[in-house]
Amino acid sequence: MGVVRTIALVILSISFVVFVALFGRLPAFRRTPIAFLHRLLWHHIPNGVIFVDQKLSGRRLTRGLSRLGNYLMNEAHPVVLIFFVTLQVAGELLFIPSAWNRLTTLQTITIPVLVVAPYWCLYLSATTSSNITAGNHRKAMLAYPYDYCLFHPGYYCSTCRFPKPARSKHCSLCKACVQKQDHHCIWINNCVGRNNYIWFNLLLLTIAALLAYAATLGHTLLDAQLQERLVPSALTRGSFTAKRWSTRLTWTQWANMWAWAIGVDWQIGAVMMLCMMSCPLALGFLIYHIYLMWAGMTTNESAKWADWKEDVQDDIVWRAEVQRLRETYPRLPSDVEPEDRLVQWPQDVRAKWWMVRTRDGEQPTFKKTGSQIQDDTEASDVPDERWMRVRSMREVDNLYDQGFWTNFVDGMFNRE
């Protein structure tokens, strides 16, 4: 029993640390213990190690670790991808040969499908690029309209030297601007963007299905072994009621029986426990991306919306009607700000409000004809009455949220 408890605690601890490391920065966890643990993991503990190492070795150890960490976190490399594949292959090699002779015909058909599907989705996720190039830049510019809130026309990527399409983001690891960039995923060694978002979500779905099925199948096989060991069929032959091995056992006895089964059939037991602990993490990723599609945003955009929410609470956000601002600030050239009729997004869905922040929270001042509207204010004595303070996020429209079904179709099937 002690070994099983130790294995369970180790797997749970690793899963929790991975969850905190990956999800702790999400806006939903701000001002929560998860955010504190994320800061503890990424900032406070490293700073403490640096302080101790400075005293002991003049930072020789931490400089080496820093170079290693910089490579792992800030360079495109297949290390995590290889670890991911190795872990899956090792689990399958342990589980399947040990269980194969005890499987039904349906199970022997189901397992190869569930095993192959994640590899196929992983391959497509890792090899499908959403990078913006000279050849597809114009198409990327016409994919989505600017919302004049998260994305404004007229900005250039300082690295790629392209006008930035709406919903795009430059990835320092991929060294390219990415169409509808969601995030850079170290598990696939690629950015999740417009072209591989469908494969990434199918990867999450197939991994979650494989983990759930392996955990369920492992439980079924070990339960059958316990039934045969503790209640042989010869003892129940002719009985009108089924007798279960767990009947009338205390919780301690029940746990001890499972510990025995896992210890005897450790290949199946270890993989079953790993799958049981890992499945919630995969499901968490999947549910989060379903939520993003429901909300009509990407992971990158969710962080931007969280910033706007805090700025609205700080009373430093203003909005004005785009059409009224056109009286003073005309459209930019079509290669920087495409005409509305050319953009693929529904023609009746265009930005109505232009959103800005001001550093001092005061109303934006009137700009001279031909100058650019900025998020900060220039010295001026004339407030621009076209701007109204935003008091609540209810006054802010998400141009890219067109209802779950439309968002789902756009996210999964709107590809080049």
pLDDT per residue as tens digits for the range 271-293: 998 899 889 889 999 999 999 99
* Higher local confidence (pLDDT), 223 or 381: 223
Asked if residue 413 is part of any domain, the answer here is: no
Number of domains observed in the structure of the chain:
3
pLDDT at 351 over 60: yes
Among 245, 260, 295, residue at a domain's last position: 295
pLDDT tens-place string over residues 97-138: 999 999 999 999 999 999 999 999 999 999 999 999 999 999
Long-range pairs for 17-21: beta carbons < 8 A, 24 or more residues apart: 17/41, 18/281, 19/281, 19/284
Residue 2's pLDDT is: 59
Q: Are residues 335 and 394 in the same domain?
A: yes
Asked if residue 170 is part of any domain, the answer here is: no
pLDDT tens-place string over residues 192-202: 999 999 999 99
Helix (H) or strand (E) holding 12, with range, is helix 2-23
Asked if residue 139 is part of any domain, the answer here is: no
Q: Are residues 289 and 304 in the same domain?
A: no
Residue whose pair of structure tokens reads 């417009």 in the numeric block:
194
Residue 291's pLDDT is: 95
pLDDT at 234 over 70: no
Residue 182's pLDDT is: 96
Domain that holds residue 340: 299-401
* Higher local confidence (pLDDT), 216 or 29: 216
Burial 2-29 (b: 16+ CB within 10 A, else e): eebeebeeebeeebeeebbebbbbbeeb
92 burial type by CB count under 10 A (0-12 exposed, 13-18 middle, 19+ buried):
middle
Q: In angstroms, what is the C-alpha Rg of the chain?
A: 28
Instruction: Read off the pLDDT of each residue in 396-409 and give the average, rounded to a whole number.
Output: 94
Name residues whose C-beta falls within 8 Å of residue 143's C-beta, 6 or more positions apart in sequence. Answer: 165, 166, 167, 179, 180, 194, 343, 344, 345, 414
Instruction: Read off the pLDDT of each residue in 301-323 and give the average, rounded to a whole number.
Output: 93
Among 235, 262, 295, residue at a domain's last position: 295
Long-range pairs for 23-30: beta carbons < 8 A, 24 or more residues apart: 23/284, 23/288, 25/303, 26/302, 26/303, 27/302, 27/303, 27/305, 27/306, 27/309, 30/306
* Higher local confidence (pLDDT), 55 or 276: 276
Q: Are residues 87 and 221 in the same domain?
A: yes
164 burial type by CB count under 10 A (0-12 exposed, 13-18 middle, 19+ buried):
buried
pLDDT at 190 over 90: yes
Residue 5's pLDDT is: 66
Q: Are residues 335 and 389 in the same domain?
A: yes
Residue 58's pLDDT is: 81
Give the catalytic positions in this structure: 185
User: What percentage of the chain exceeds 90 in pLDDT?
Assistant: 57
∠ CA 288-293-299 to the nearest 5 degrees? Answer: 60
Residue 371's pLDDT is: 46
In this structure, are strands 176-178 and 169-171 parallel, antiparallel, or unpaired? antiparallel
Instruction: Specify the range with the lowest mean pLDDT, choosing from 14-28, 78-92, 146-160.
Output: 14-28
Residue 379's pLDDT is: 47
Q: Which two tokens stand for residue 21?
A: 């490391």
Residue 373's pLDDT is: 46
∠ CA 159-163-164 to the nearest 5 degrees? Answer: 80
Q: What is the CB neighbour count within 10 angstroms for residue 276? A: 19
Q: Confirm if 125 and 203 have CB atoms less than 8 A apart.
A: yes
Instruction: Specify the range with the lowest mean pLDDT, choosing from 41-55, 194-208, 260-274, 312-326.
Output: 41-55
Q: Which two tokens stand for residue 296?
A: 């009509």
Q: Confirm if 318 and 364 have CB atoms less than 8 A apart.
A: yes
Residue 260's pLDDT is: 86
∠ CA 120-413-77 to the nearest 5 degrees? Answer: 45
Residue 321's pLDDT is: 95
pLDDT at 372 over 80: no
Confidence of residue 7 (pLDDT cuts 50, 70, 90): low
Residue 378's pLDDT is: 47
Q: Which two tokens stand for residue 27?
A: 């806006």
Residue 181's pLDDT is: 96
Confidence of residue 380 (pLDDT cuts 50, 70, 90): very low
Q: Are residues 109 and 244 in the same domain?
A: yes
Q: Are residues 274 and 356 in the same domain?
A: no
Q: Are residues 371 and 232 in the same domain?
A: no
Q: Are residues 382 and 307 in the same domain?
A: yes
Q: Are residues 29 and 109 in the same domain?
A: no
Asked if residue 365 is part of any domain, the answer here is: yes
* Higher local confidence (pLDDT), 295 or 69: 295
* Higher local confidence (pLDDT), 136 or 30: 136
Among 280, 295, 310, residue at a domain's last position: 295
Q: Is 259 helix (H, G, I), strand (E, B) or coil?
A: helix
Q: Are residues 357 and 241 in the same domain?
A: no
For residue 336, give the nearest of 134, 156, 172 by alpha carbon: 156
Residue 233's pLDDT is: 64
Q: Which two tokens stand for residue 373?
A: 């509207």
Long-range pairs for 76-80: beta carbons < 8 A, 24 or more residues apart: 76/173, 76/174, 76/175, 76/189, 77/189, 78/189, 80/186, 80/187, 80/189
Name residues whose C-beta falls within 8 Å of residue 211's C-beta, 6 or more positions apart in sequence. Answer: 275, 278, 279, 282
Residue 167's pLDDT is: 96
Question: Using the 8-state DSSP alphabet, how is residue 167 labeled?
Answer: T
pLDDT tens-place string over residues 206-227: 999 999 999 999 999 999 888 8
Confidence of residue 65 (pLDDT cuts 50, 70, 90): confident
Q: Are residues 87 and 222 in the same domain?
A: yes
Instruction: Specify the range with the lowest mean pLDDT, choosing from 68-72, 267-271, 353-357.
Output: 68-72
Q: Are residues 210 and 67 in the same domain?
A: no
Asked if residue 416 is part of any domain, the answer here is: no
**Integer distance in angstroms from the first to the last C-alpha of the chain?**
54
Q: Confirm if 92 and 214 have CB atoms less than 8 A apart.
A: no
Asked if residue 409 is part of any domain, the answer here is: no
Asked if residue 242 is part of any domain, the answer here is: yes
Confidence of residue 59 (pLDDT cuts 50, 70, 90): confident
Asked if residue 164 is part of any domain, the answer here is: no
Dihedral, CA of residue 300, residue 301, residue 307 and residue 309, to nearest 10: -150
∠ CA 350-355-359 to the nearest 5 degrees? Answer: 170
Mean residue pLDDT across the chain: 87
